[in-house]
Amino acid sequence: MPISLIQPEYKVEIDYDKCHKCGRCVQQCGWGVYSFNERPIPDDSKCRACHRCVTYCPAHCITIRKNDLAYKENEHWNPGLRKAVWRQAESGGVMLTGMGNDKPYRNIFDHLVLDACQVTNPSIDPLREPMELRTYLGRKPDSVEVESDGNGGYRLAEGDDIARNIQLETPIIFSPMSYGSVSLNVHRSLAMAAQRLGTLMNTGEGGLHADLYPYADNVIVQVASGRFGVNPDYLNRGAAMEIKIGQGAKPGIGGHLPGEKINREVSETRMIPQGTDAISPAPHHDIYSIEDLRQLIYSLKEATGYKPVGVKIAAVHNVAAIASGIVRAGADYVYLDGFRGGTGAAPQIIRDHIGIPIEVAIAVVDQRLRDEGIRNQASIIAAGSIRSSADLAKAIALGADVCAIGSAALMALGCHLCQGCHTGSCSWGITTQKPELTRRIDPEWGAERLVNLVHAWSHELQEILGALGVNAVESLRGSRERLRAVGLDQQTCEILGVKPAGL
Amino acid sequence: MSYEPLLERMPTTKLPTFADREGVFGAERPRYAEEATFKIHGGCGLMGICDESGTHMSGEVAIRAMAVQRDRGNGLGGGYAGYGIYPEFPDHFCFHMMYHDIKAKEDAEAIFDRYFVVDLAEPMPTRAVKGISDAPLLWRYFLNPDPHKLEGTEMSPEDFIVHTVMLINSSVDGAFVASSGKNMGAFKGVGFPEEIGHYYLLEEYEGHTWVAHNRFPTNTPGWWGGAHPFTLLDWAIVHNGEISSYGINSRYLEAFGYKCTLGTDTEVAAYLFDLMLRRHKLPLELACKALASPLWSEIDRMPAEEQAVMRSLRAVYGPGMLNGPFAIVLGFNGGMVALNDRIKLRPLVAATQGTTVMVASEESAMREVLDAPDRVWMPNAGEPVIARVQGMDWPIHGDLHLSASEVSCAMTGVEESCETAVEVS
Amino acid sequence: MTQVKEARTERTGPIEGYLTVEPAVERDGDTVTIEARNVYYKQMNEAVRRAIADGAKRIVLNGVNGQRYIGTGLKGDAHIEVHGTAGNDMAMFMDGPTVEVFGNAQDGVGNTMNAGKVVVHGDAGDVLGYGMRGGKVFIRGDVGYRVGIHMKAYENLVPVMVCGGKSRDFFGEYMAGGMLVLLGMNSTFEGPMVGGYLGTGMHGGEIFLRGQAEPWQIGKECGIFTADEADLERLRPILEEYCEHFGMDIDEVLSVPFTKLVPISHRPYGKLYTYV
């Protein structure tokens, strides 16, 4: 029997003096780390450091350590790369993983700082004074036309107004995460939270489960290349439709739902056989050129009485030109997903080496649309592992209308970013369909945690706006002048449209 | 806190267009070939029609065919090329010129007067059409190289023309040569194709071959020269799709002296045709097979001799193979060729009616023009549709002694292309 | 010498003007006739929707040439006749009605269709029935590339597509459910009945070919069988319905053995990945 050359990444350490021998860890671990023979016995090779057992152990006697195996140092071949070769030699397979790019590329957000008002311009107190975050998502007309209402006043003239825009109470929405990649309880949590927050969640490419119909006004329904769950009712139900062309975690390739995660209900919603792998086709097979996208956008509009249609793309090299084409093809918003974006499953090599940072993508798309005089024709949604309200504020300053959070939302539900989503055995009950695991997310509890997170970030954003001396988010939107770069090269500064600190 | 830089970029009454920012129609006089700082996607629709008997058709047929395909474009570009449209000047080269202003016209005309015998110079006939604005000055010239000047250079008349096109496009600011062939012309600009067609009064021209294009660029209006067709002498190319192998195709061509400026994938297709047909003298059918090659699995199933040819073709011209979705129509004096990519990711349908051969992105475009086609079919991936006009020469320009660099400069008008002195091949 | 032509005045007419032309509509009992010549798809489809809302059961569209989105997103049980060449994305997202084309159809027929029937007395183009989830598409003649991609089914929601002529590459790519049939009978195309990459990525559903395909044409995920009695019994009612539409003889259709392609593995990509 060939032994695997790969050593466990972690060591599970149990202080048996404190251990209650209750077996809780055995039950809690989704990866099958523990067996029990008078006391819990861990198999280190299965541990993913998700901390479920650590959190639920009543005696707090478990800790997870890095398996501090010494490797001969090699700046070119880090241990991860060596392990990848061993793994592939064993299996002949494409390495599949979950969540977002974890490689050490420079983080541009961490090199941008925000302004504050002092002396020459007053800051505003967000605790006691109005601080507006409301945002409208969608196409805005070039100007507002009014006519006399016959009574000495005015009314809007016939034609374009913002009736088809979606009102958001905060510039944060939930990213698309498909039912299948996450559990139904997660979808319920997201939908309930979106409704309470006055914002939106997104079905992702797995269709809309009937349990979510009461929340449909706060749901964007996605049309992806697999067309899962897409029928006219689905299209008409949501607040908007989104054509998914790509995502930051895997630009250029389609969705992956491993067979482990396709149970009867997922099979029904997606209309594919149970247990088979759902690998969405890479392109939409009816979109091979920009005019085909226009054709699809208008087919969706024709089918739904002209509801808003957005297009989601991964941030890649020519994202500005693509975004411009998308806007000219009739989209009401463009969703940009940067290369740090998360996923339920993606080939690791694609996740970690393809795509560009969202900061740059926002900057070039925003500038390009302004250069062409069409910035008002579509909103920009930015995503790609937005980590905090600081990232949110900086993204808005660079030009985004709204940010979408996916990884952060799952972390609100307990995700520890262990990158085990693709196995369908998530101990936290998030990226799994196993009933014994999915029941660990109570939708009410989940909704409350999501509402907490978004409220917290919204309040922090208000604090930031107050410090900037503005009381409405649209005064920060696109205002590159409120950012400065620290430690970025000149060319990057030029591309971002941000000056270096000091100037 | 300074807001000036912000205010500079804020839209005032008129939202700034790319054209304004780059000074194409602003204070600076435009270098027409410089539009493409950004990659321009070739999304769109196209058509080609050729009456193999040489019978002439009104340009109206091209306009009507493009009007049916209106939704394939976004009103930012339309263009036509017609052949046989100047029967009164069958042996004159006809230059269709675009000028930003009078000075550009004067400068260009100074060149014409010095090196050519100009038998007619007149403004292009146009009519006002709603939706067409910001047109450049449009003029046409029927001319031939001055024999005395030509004698001294040892060039063929065609070489001379291309040199002139190169000279004007690269060094006369604000002037652009839209076409320079005999008994043909390109009519293009910013607008929907049917608007452009009516603008140029195309219904009053009659030609045996027409190609047309509806553009969906991701760039702003302002550059009339950016619409398809792309021309050189009497070649005109219209292109739908995107050439994903552009990066290597352009580097491959550079080794032969072609200089590819950024932006238009169409130019690699044009230069590849030039390389294979004119310089390497490949038969047209094989050039198409090199550009849109059969899969290896298909080649392995071919009979031995054919297999050997195909294998060599692919091995040698591999870096020149066009990958990505495309449909291309190449027009010239003598006929037209339509070709799509090797797995047919763009639509292309063909039809014949009597001696007329037509291709288009959508069948309805052909049905608008042909009332009772004999045959309507979908060409196979990578298989060209070829129409040949009876009695006209075939293939193209065997005696053109131009360097590749001169060819590319002539087509794009970019100075860098012209700097290198290249051996005549 | 060519005279200089003077600038003319602005021209209007059917080409620039068609964007806002309303079609002529006539009502006769349950039938509504709409004159679609030179009418833009938006106005034409609005007229169709109005007619259905007003209770029409049969809608006749005359002079159609390239108008898009016919039947898109429509529900109910109306019968729409299209005279002319149907434009792209006909019956896309359609959920119930019948669309019958007397002429050819272009690309995207039955794209993500949910229920209903499409009958085309002619050829159709590329990308038919992409993501189709239910209903029936019957094409009399030839079809193009990438037909029947990712058709999907669940229990009694089963899409069916029958093409009477020949097809090109990528027929039934990535099929997940449903029934896809190719007869190779009513064809004006001189090549083989079907192209390469037939059924590539198949993991559900069934493909039936009248006759045979070369082994090299068939995707590696497909198991190749000869259709047996039971299969033919299931095929028969569908083919009978098909033959009735086009005046064909069911016995002639069934006179040649049919090849059946089904996925050999429900998890064709199971071995492709290793989990990190």
C-alpha closest to that of C92 among C66, C118, C58, C56: C118
Q: What is the CATH number of the domain that holds B372?
A: 3.60.20.10
Peptide bond into A126 cis (omega under 30): no
A142 contacts in B (CB within 8 Å)?
Answer: 15
The total domain count for chain A is 2
Q: Ranked by mean pLDDT, which of A186-190, B164-168, B278-282, B294-298 comes out on top?
A: A186-190
For residue A99, is it within any domain? no
**Closest CB to B68 among C1, C4, C65:** C65
Q: What is the mean pLDDT of residues B19-32?
A: 35
- Residue B282: band (very low, low, confident or very high) from pLDDT cuts 50, 70, 90: confident
- Residue B24: band (very low, low, confident or very high) from pLDDT cuts 50, 70, 90: very low
For residue A105, is it within any domain? no
State pLDDT tens for residues B234-256. 889 898 887 778 778 887 887 77
Q: Are residues A26 and A153 in the same domain?
A: no
- pLDDT over 70 at A32, yes or no: yes
Tell which CATH classification among 2.160.20.60, 1.25.40.10, 3.30.2420.10, 3.40.50.300 matches the domain C122-269. Answer: 2.160.20.60
Residue A42 domain boundaries:
10-69
Task: Decide: C129 and C109 in contact? Cβ < 8 Å.
Answer: yes
Q: Are residues A191 and A269 in the same domain?
A: yes
**φ and ψ of C54, to 5 deg:** -80, 5
Q: What is the mean pLDDT of residues A123-152?
A: 82
C-alpha closest to that of B412 among B276, B280, B223: B223
For residue B311, is it within any domain? no
Which pLDDT score is estimated for B234? 84
Q: What is the mean pLDDT of chain A?
A: 92
State pLDDT tens for residues A322-357. 999 999 999 999 999 999 999 999 999 999 999 999
Beta bridge partners of A131: none
CB contact C274 to A (< 8 Å):
yes
Q: Which two tokens stand for residue A17?
A: 């003096």
**Closest CB to B194 among C4, C7, C15:** C15
Interface touch C173/A96, C-beta < 8 Å: no
Enter the DSSP assignment of C20. Answer: G
Last residue of a domain, one of A26, A51, A69: A69
For residue B24, is it within any domain? no
Q: What is the mean pLDDT of chain B?
A: 79
The total domain count for chain B is 1
Q: Which two tokens stand for residue B399?
A: 């005696």
The Cα A453–Cα A443 span in angstroms is 15
- pLDDT over 80 at B9, yes or no: no
State pLDDT tens for residues C186-230. 998 989 999 999 999 898 999 999 999 999 999 888 999 999 999
For residue B407, is it within any domain? yes
Interface touch A290/B43, C-beta < 8 Å: yes
The Cα A451–Cα A216 span in angstroms is 18
Which pLDDT score is estimated for B375? 94
Which pLDDT score is estimated for B401? 52
Q: Are residues A423 and A283 in the same domain?
A: yes
Q: Give alpha helix (H) positions in chain C.
A: 14-17, 41-53, 229-246, 250-253
For residue A192, is it within any domain? yes
- The domains of chain C are located at 17-112, 122-269
Mind telling me how many Å the CA of C114 is from chain A's nearest CA? 6
Using DSSP bridges, classify how beta strands C258-263 and C204-210 pair: parallel, antiparallel or unpaired.
Answer: antiparallel
The Cα A49–Cα A385 span in angstroms is 20
For residue B172, is it within any domain? yes
In this structure, of B165-169, B325-329, C170-174, the range with the lowest mean pLDDT score is B165-169
For residue B294, is it within any domain? no
Using DSSP bridges, classify how beta strands B209-216 and B78-83 pair: parallel, antiparallel or unpaired.
Answer: antiparallel
Which pLDDT score is estimated for B43? 61
Which pLDDT score is estimated for B6? 28
- pLDDT over 80 at A5, yes or no: yes
Q: What is the mean pLDDT of residues B206-234?
A: 78
For residue B5, is it within any domain? no
Task: Decide: A135 and A476 in contact? Cβ < 8 Å.
Answer: no
User: Touching B: which chains, 3+ CB pairs < 8 A?
Assistant: A, C
Q: What is the CATH number of the domain that holds A65?
A: 3.30.70.20
For residue B199, is it within any domain? yes
State pLDDT tens for residues A194-218. 999 999 999 999 899 999 999 999 9
Q: Give alpha helix (H) positions in A261-307.
A: 264-270, 290-304
For residue A117, is it within any domain? no
- pLDDT over 50 at A222, yes or no: yes
Residue B266 domain boundaries:
38-287+324-418
Q: What is the CATH number of the domain that holds A411?
A: 3.20.20.70
Interface touch A321/B73, C-beta < 8 Å: no
C-alpha closest to that of A145 among A167, A164, A128, A162: A162
Instruction: Measure Cα distances from B148 to A355, B114, B116, B151, B256 in Å.
Output: 59, 11, 10, 5, 32
Instruction: Measure Cα distances from B165 to B161, B172, B282 in Å.
Output: 6, 10, 26
Strand blocks (E) in A25-162: 34-36, 40-42, 62-66, 94-97, 112-114, 135-137, 146-148, 154-156
Q: How far is CA C5 from the centre of its chain?
A: 49
Q: Searching chain A, which residue's CA lies closest to the CA of residue B217?
A: A325
Q: Of residues C15 and B247, which shows the higher confidence score? A: B247
For residue B23, is it within any domain? no
Which pLDDT score is estimated for B22? 34
State pLDDT tens for residues C18-64. 677 899 999 999 999 999 998 999 999 999 999 999 999 999 999 99
Q: What is the mean pLDDT of residues C119-133?
A: 96
Please state the length of chain B: 425
**Closest CB to A288 among B45, B219, B346:** B346
Task: Decide: C213 and C194 in contact? Cβ < 8 Å.
Answer: yes
Q: Of residues B305 and B365, which shows the higher confidence score? A: B365
CB contact C150 to A (< 8 Å):
yes
Interface touch B5/A481, C-beta < 8 Å: yes
Which pLDDT score is estimated for C65? 95
**Closest CB to B45 among A121, A291, A373:** A291
Q: Which H/E stretch holds residue B367?
A: helix B363-369
- Residue A272: band (very low, low, confident or very high) from pLDDT cuts 50, 70, 90: confident
- pLDDT over 80 at A164, yes or no: yes
Q: What is the mean pLDDT of chain C?
A: 90
Which pLDDT score is estimated for B418? 39
Q: Are residues A31 and A144 in the same domain?
A: no
- Residue B407: band (very low, low, confident or very high) from pLDDT cuts 50, 70, 90: low
Q: What is the mean pLDDT of residues C109-134?
A: 96
Amino acid identity, position B233 = L
Maximal C-alpha separation, chain B: 77
User: How many of the other CB atoms lie within 10 Å of CB of A353?
Assistant: 11
Interface touch C270/A304, C-beta < 8 Å: no
Is residue B44 annotated as a catalytic residue, yes or no? yes
Q: What is the mean pLDDT of residues A131-147?
A: 86
In this structure, of A130-134, A237-241, B246-250, the range with the lowest mean pLDDT score is B246-250
Which pLDDT score is estimated for B217? 66
* Global ipTM: 0.87
- Residue A125: band (very low, low, confident or very high) from pLDDT cuts 50, 70, 90: confident
Which pLDDT score is estimated for A275? 85
Which pLDDT score is estimated for C9? 35
